[in-house]
């Protein structure tokens, strides 16, 4: 049996969906299945979403079933297997939850999740999610524009980028005990990307608060980029003059660039990105430029070499 060291793992070292699905069927046929289903995979933050209105964007494609959305996840803080986050995330306490904002802004400070929800009307938006390993989902998120959150802290003229950071607590997140990445998990956007109306701070899905394995209680959704850009369980936001180095960019700079836009013309060094498999489907489909959002976001990258700036 080949055993990889934690430091050798990459985002691709996760269970393929077809293997995972057969494993679940086997588990559900016996006592192991009963134990797995008893795990707190539906644990949620102690929050109430209240009124939710339709968002101005989205897709009319068929939604991925809730069971797949909540049991087939990348969340390395709880383990590198697709099933780990649903099984191992019950230890995370999501209420109270505070997000601290700092850096190049006129009104830095900390804000409680409940106050965030009071300040920002919620909308539902059905978005495509494309992961770098070649699988995709269609998810009805509940959230509000990242731009609305940013404006409240009044970033100044030096704020060219915004950086996000995930909770870093080994007691609550057992995956942190393995040096898969240089923890804490960080991600970043250029300021004009962050202010684009498609960039969403999500607090729910399918009309309910986020399950922990999906990034509770608050996560980023950037639908025209690969899924690893949509950082989960955010506790810190920093406005920066210089470009931040994200967690995957730091771990493998030749494989994961800062922009990480969905671009079928730019292959990952170890596999093609030209096709993808929608969870629940057998046949692969063509990968769309910017994950199908080219009309909305292509202008952000006018004049850029998208092979160089991958």
Query: What is the distance in angstroms between the CA of the first residue and the CA of the last residue of the chain?
Result: 35
Q: Are 42 and 85 in contact (CB under 8 A)?
A: no
Centroid of chain to Cα 16: 18
| Distance in angstroms (rounded) separating the CA atoms of residues 281 and 228 | 22
Instruction: Please give the pLDDT value at position 18.
Output: 52
Summarised one tens digit per residue, pLDDT across range 257-278 is: 999 999 999 999 999 999 999 9
Q: Which residue has the higher pLDDT, 34 or 68?
A: 68
Summarised one tens digit per residue, pLDDT across range 144-183 is: 999 999 999 999 999 999 999 999 999 999 999 999 999 9
pTM over 0.75: yes
| Distance in angstroms (rounded) separating the CA atoms of residues 149 and 119 | 9
Evaluated on CA atoms 153, 158, 164, 168, the torsion sign reads negative
Q: Are 173 and 91 in contact (CB under 8 A)?
A: yes
Q: Determine if the peptide bond prior to 96 is cis (ω within 30°).
A: yes
Delineate the domains of the chain, giving CATH numbers in brackets.
10-297 (3.90.420.10)
Judging by DSSP bridges, how do beta strands 98-103 and 234-240 pair with one another? parallel
Evaluated on CA atoms 154, 156, 162, 168, the torsion sign reads negative
Question: Which two tokens mark 40?
Answer: 């707190």
Please determine, for residue 14, whether its predicted confidence score (pLDDT) is greater than 60: no
SS3 10: coil
């Amino acid at each position: 049996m080949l055993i990889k060291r934690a430091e050798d793992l990459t985002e691709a070292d996760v269970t393929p969906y077809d293997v995972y699905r057969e494993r679940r069927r086997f588990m559900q046929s016996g006592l192991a299945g009963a134990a797995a289903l008893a795990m707190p995979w539906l644990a949620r933050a102690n929050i109430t979403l209240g009124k939710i209105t339709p968002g101005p964007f989205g897709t009319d494609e068929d939604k991925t079933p809730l069971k797949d959305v909540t049991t087939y996840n990348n969340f390395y803080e709880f383990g590198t297997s697709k099933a780990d986050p649903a099984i191992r995330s019950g230890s995370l306490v999501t209420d109270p939850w505070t997000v601290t904002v700092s850096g190049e802004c006129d009104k830095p400070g900390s804000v409680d999740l409940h106050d965030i929800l009071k300040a920002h009307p919620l909308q539902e938006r059905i978005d495509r999610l494309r992961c770098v390993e070649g699988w995709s989902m269609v998810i009805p998120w509940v959230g509000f524009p990242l731009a609305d959150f940013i404006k409240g802290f009044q970033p100044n003229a030096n704020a060219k980028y915004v950086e996000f950071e995930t909770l870093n607590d080994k007691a609550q997140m057992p995956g942190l005990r393995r040096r898969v990445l240089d923890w804490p998990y960080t991600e970043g956007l250029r300021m004009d990307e962050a202010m684009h109306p498609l960039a969403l701070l999500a607090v729910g899905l399918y009309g309910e608060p986020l399950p922990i394995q999906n990034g509770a209680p608050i996560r980023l959704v950037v639908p025209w980029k690969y899924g690893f850009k949509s950082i989960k369980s955010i506790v810190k936001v920093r406005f920066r003059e210089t470009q931040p180095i994200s967690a995957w960019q730091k771990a493998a700079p030749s494989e994961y660039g800062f922009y990480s836009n969905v671009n079928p013309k730019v292959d990952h060094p170890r596999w093609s990105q030209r096709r993808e498999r929608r969870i629940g489907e057998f046949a692969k489909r063509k990968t769309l430029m910017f994950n199908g959002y080219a009309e909305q976001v292509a202008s952000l990258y006018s004049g850029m070499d998208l092979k160089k700036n991958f």
